[in-house]
Structures are given as C-alpha cells and as structure tokens.
A and B are shown apart, each in its own frame.
Chain A
Amino acid sequence: MKMLMKGTEAIAEAAIRAGCRLYFGYPITPQSELTEYMAKRMPEVKGVFLQSESEVATVNMLYGAACTGKRVMTSTSSPGFSLMQEGISYMAGAELPAVFINVMRGGPGLGDIQPSQSDYFQSTKGGGHGDYRMIVLAPHTLQEAANIMGEAFDLAFKYRMLVTILVDGMIGQMMEPVELPEWKNIEELKEPDWALTGAKGRKPRKVTSFDLDPYELEKMNLRYQATYKRVAENEVRYEEFKIEDADIIVVAYGTMARIVKTVADSARKEGIRVGLFRPITLWPFPYERLSKISQNVKHILTVEMSYGQMIEDVKLAVNGKTNVDFYGRSAGVVPTPMEVLEAIKKIAR
C-alpha cells in the first residue's frame, strides 16, 4: 500500500525495515524529522535511539556500535557531516560498515537550511584524511530513497565500507507516495566474522585503523584499495532517460535530476532533443558509461545545485570527446525548470 510520506520519514522507516536497530544522531535542520521519527519509532521496534551531545560524538558512537557487527546509522545535514569527517576517516580505516544520511543544505559555514548539492566533493573525494572512499548513493525520488536503504546496508556489509545517502533538503522535506520495502528478518542477519562481541571460545579480534609500521599500514591500505576497485567494477549505478536520440545530454543527480526530467520533456516540445544521464552512485562514478554515450552527442550539460563539483567527474569521463557546459545555482537556491530550459536553449543555439 502506498503512503504519503515525508522524505525523512520514508528513509527512517525504510532503514528500520532494512534491519537497522541502532540510530545515533544530533538535531539539525532540514533533517531533524528523521531524528525525531527514530526517537519515536526505535523504542517500538526494540531498537536503540540515542541523541548524542554532538556530531563528533555521534560518529564515534557509530564507530563503537559498528564494531559489534550490527546495522547502524545516523543522519545529519552539511555542518554536522563536516564534524563527522574525523570519525568517518577512522571508520573507513577500521573497515567498519555503517550508513550515513546527509540531507544537504546551503553552505559553506552555517550557510542556510535550504536545499543544496554542495557537499559532493566532501562525500565523494573524502572530507577526512587518508586514502579512503565511501560509497555514495543519490536517490532522486522518495520511493527510490526508501528502496535504496536496504541496498545501502547490504553494500556496507558486503564490502565493509561506509555508505552515504546524499540527498538534499528538498528530498528531506517533500512528501510523495511511498510503497515501503519489505521487512528484513533481523534474526537472519549473520554476525560478521570480524565483529567484536567478546572472545568467548575464539581468538580475540581487533578492529583498528592504524599500524605504526609503514609497510604493514601499506598492506592495509592496499587491501582498502582492492576493495574500492571491486566496488568500482561491480557497483556502478545510473539511470538513462531519453538519451537514445539526444543531441544534448544533461548530467544531474538527486533533486536536480528530477527537475531535469521535466525540463527534458518541455525541451522536446520545443524541438530540442534532450536526455538525462543520472548517476545513482556518485562514488563509484559511472565514468565508463558516460564516456561511451558522450561520443555521440553534441553537448553535455552538467546541472547542479552547486557552483560546479560533479562537473569535474563529468569532465574526466568525457575526456574532451565533446563540449561540457555547466549550469548551477547554490547556497540553497534551487534552479527552476525554466532556468534550466534557458540554459539548454543557450547551448542548443
């Protein structure tokens, strides 16, 4: 049955259904409803909800809970995600699985609380120190966001990696009909063979992110890199919308992509053949596929709610095969369909 749900609620409920019973978080707009939903809901499913004293604490609570091999998550918005970067680096080094929701808002600094996509670099290139990566998923509808939660946990555990769901204030605050995913039976979730549960009848296990011997640390790093390579080879996800006959392909993700879908239709009514290429995994970025399809088009237009972050990956993919243009607004200002259409017309001329 479809229910009219707010983005934050759909994500929270889907996470619980995906087997998450441990949530740590600190209120921040525009995602506090997610925290509040968990405060109400976790006790009902015998889970744990804890409001931490700060995002620095949150991420370390996550570190601890993740060490026990359970499905754990948090949610925050840009300034809070910045504070979590230290812990994220430590968790990546310790190969701990966890899911982060970043409901992006305008920055930098305190910025504002309106929708934005300006944390792309931070999420995909690593906001913390060290050679690490995290899987970054960018759903564009509430249904997709709800569906992706189970996948996020599965990927986190399969690869022992952190997964970030990168959405913005619009997806967080809007309502849409959602068919909630099936319940995962948490009894069936296997305890990972690295989990710290007390060394009863087995050798003690260690979870750390350090080795003072550089050659040993290098070995650890090479292991991370091998994992990242496997992820890049196997887990790239994207959507193609009306690209078969397109002269212009717009590359956009999340909220911006759904706006572009509307724009593509109106552009076609005016005789401009526009398609959309929508990365769903921002890391690993769909370089190969974008490279391939960019060969046959006149223009690639990257549209973002930032002043140009994903465009760097788009340019890497296109690698000079065709023109790459940009349109974007940031700071919490969302480009309207008409503005994007204008940008398209400009390059179509």
Chain B
Amino acid sequence: MIKSIIIAGFGGQGVMLMGKIIAESAMLDGLNVTWLPSYGPEMRGGTANCTVIVGDEPIGSPVVDVPDVVIAMNIPSMIKFEEMLKKDGIMILNSSVIDREPSRKDIKVYKIDANKIADAIGNSKVLNMVTLGAFARVTGLVKLEMIGKALEETFAGKNKKLIDLNLEAVRQGMNSVS
C-alpha cells in the first residue's frame, strides 16, 4: 500500500505543519513516509503546498501526478489540485473559506468548517489540526494516538497546554465528519 496526499492552502494556514504531523504520525506507526514541500518565493504571501506519501513499501518518487487525497484550504488550491486527484479519490475542503463545489463528480468530497470549529475551541490557528482530524477519520491512514505522539515531538519544550489544545482540535475535527 502506498498513499499520496497533497495539502495546499495560503501561507499561514499551517499546511506544512499539517503535512509534517501526518508524516510523523505515520512514521511512528511504523510506515515509510516522505514529505515534500513547495519552497521558494511562492511561499511569500502566496499559496503553499506539500506532498506526503505514506506506505508499507519503500517509497520511490516523492513527487506524485495522481494523488489519492487532496486537502484544499482555499479556492486556488482546490482548483489547482482537483484535476490531479485520482478517480474516486478523496477531497477534503475547508468550507469556511471555500464557498463553492469542486467541478468533478467522480471524487469523494468532505467539507470541514475548519475556521469555525477552531474559533469555537478558542484559537483560530488550530484550523489545520481540525482539518487533520477530519483527514484521519476519513482516510484511516493515521491514528489519534500517533498524532498525539507526533504533536509531543513537534512541540517538545513548549507547554503542555499547547499540545492539548492541538489534540483537542484534532479530536473535534474527527468528530466533525461521519
């Protein structure tokens, strides 16, 4: 099994971190992973994206043409990556920002009101973790327990509250999709 995920949004929406946590939790679960960022001036103000691949076989190419999952946090990202998505692939949308439908009908679409859920938790920044929770529930590729560990690794040295806050966001994201 090898699954590829493209995560895209505005710089500042935390898409790189979301990708990193997915990669790290999968790694902690014993899987092979790669995380490949878009880099360069593209990051300044514009959109950012990363490609994460997880699998139980060795991973060759860190670049994908046909991702299994696309997580789009804004409209330009949805438009840019929709076309590439595999037939019957999964598209996770941040519906707080994306107020329209993808044009393809042969994909599975999940809408997450990420900003609203994050605001309700009391920190608008955790919208990426809310989305990550939804991703985990929908795909089953990463486990909550491992996400918790990955957050601990990532925020090592920061206060426990921050980790709890992020984990709570992941949980609520999981519950937001059925």
A259 CA / B60 CA spacing, docked (Å): 6
Mask of A158-178 contacts with B, CB within 8 angstroms, 1/0: 000000000001100111110
Q: With a CB–CB cut-off of 8 A, which chain A residues contact B24?
A: 4
Q: Which B residues lie at the A interface, using CB under 8 A? A: 20, 23-24, 27, 32-37, 39-40, 58-66
Q: Which of A113, A175, A262, A263 is in CB contact (< 8 Å) with B35?
A: A175
Beta-carbon contact of A261 and B39 below 8 Å: no
A336 CA / B59 CA spacing, docked (Å): 15
A87 CA / B97 CA spacing, docked (Å): 53
Nearest 9 Cβ contacts at the A-B interface: A261-B60, A262-B60, A262-B61, A175-B35, A259-B61, A338-B65, A174-B36, A336-B65, A177-B27
Beta-carbon contact of A174 and B35 below 8 Å: yes
Mask of A293-328 contacts with B, CB within 8 angstroms, 1/0: 000000000000000000000000000000000000
Q: With a CB–CB cut-off of 8 A, which chain A residues contact B40?
A: 29-30, 112-114
Mask of A90-112 contacts with B, CB within 8 angstroms, 1/0: 00000000000000000000001
Jot down 22 A-B pairs with beta carbons below 8 A, ordered by A. A4-B27, A112-B40, A113-B40, A169-B39, A173-B36, A173-B39, A174-B34, A174-B35, A174-B62, A175-B34, A177-B27, A255-B62, A259-B60, A259-B63, A262-B59, A262-B60, A263-B60, A265-B60, A334-B63, A336-B63, A336-B64, A337-B64
Q: Which A residues lie at the B interface, using CB under 8 A? A: 2, 4, 29-30, 112-114, 169-170, 173-177, 255, 258-263, 265, 334, 336-338
Nearest chain A residue, comparing its CB with the CB of B153? A4
Q: With a CB–CB cut-off of 8 A, which chain A residues contact B66?
A: 338
Q: With a CB–CB cut-off of 8 A, which chain B residues contact A262?
A: 59-61
Q: With a CB–CB cut-off of 8 A, which chain A residues contact B23?
A: 4, 175
Known A4-B24, A177-B27; further 6 A-B contacts with Cβ < 8 A: A29-B39, A113-B39, A170-B36, A175-B23, A259-B63, A337-B61
A262 CA / B61 CA spacing, docked (Å): 6
Q: With a CB–CB cut-off of 8 A, which chain A residues contact B33?
A: 4, 175-177
Q: With a CB–CB cut-off of 8 A, which chain A residues contact B35?
A: 4, 174-176
